[in-house]
Amino acid sequence: MSVPASAGLVRSALDPARASRHEVVQAGDPWVGRIERGQVLRIVDLEGNQAVDTLFYAADDLGERYSAVRTIAQQGTLYLTTGSVLRSALGTPLLTIVADTCGRHDTLGGACSAESNTVRYGHHTKHMHNCRDSFLLAIERSQLGLHKRDLSANINFFMNVPVTPEGKLTFEDGISAGGKYVELRAETAVICLISNCPQLNNPCNAYNPTPIRVLVWDA
């Protein structure tokens, strides 16, 4: 269940100057935005090897959300790239990746948390900034009605998490680079929740968390 990193490389024809939204998200910060049906969301890895933890919810029914299980099963591969359809637990298409200059994105590594950092890297990391706390901060600020129980298995855009022949996950140096991006078209109105990962303890971002850029084009 793997694909070569170059399998889905497709550049976009969209002009950043025509984007209706254009925001920079600093390392460790969250971002929440509504993407209407037909709009296109681009996430740009500004400096390279950053990990962008992302969740999607159907805007009109927040109980229907991105499902890693359904998405993986439907496409028959663990990784996301151009042509991948992100599906809800009901099988509803939420977004389609329409351009990708990185080539592969992780569906299994999950979001770092105080608890997982402690288990993996030692008790001294418990109070480090982490993605789960960023998600919680974002949903509290957004007042959308989301709660801790609504945080499910997320996508890690640009993150490199190979699966060994024994079925184990390993966190490796990223395959992205500065300026690479992934672009998604919303098949229905969605809420996008991002934690721009602050992880300092594994090589997912070369031990150097960096900013990302978020752009949105109208349909």
Cα dihedral 187→196→105→68 (10° resolution): -60
Per-chain mean pLDDT for the chain: 90
- What's the pLDDT band for 119 if we cut at 50, 70, 90? low
pLDDT in tens, 132-164: 989 999 999 988 999 999 999 999 999 988 888
User: Could you give the count of Cα atoms lying within 13 Å of 72 in the half-sphere of its Cβ?
Assistant: 14
Q: In the block, which residue shows the tokens 């170059």?
A: 6
Contact (CB, 8 A) for 49 and 206: yes
pLDDT score, position 114: 62
**Domain range annotation of the chain:** 26-217
- The reported pLDDT for the residue numbered 130 is 84
Residue range 97-111, pLDDT digits in tens: 999 999 999 999 888
Residue 203, exposed/middle/buried by CB under 10 A (0-12, 13-18, 19+)?
middle
- Strand ranges of the sheet holding 155-157, from the earlier edge strand across to the other edge: 30-35, 190-196, 52-58, 155-157
Q: Which of 5-14, 119-128, 150-159, 179-188 has the lowest mean pLDDT?
A: 119-128
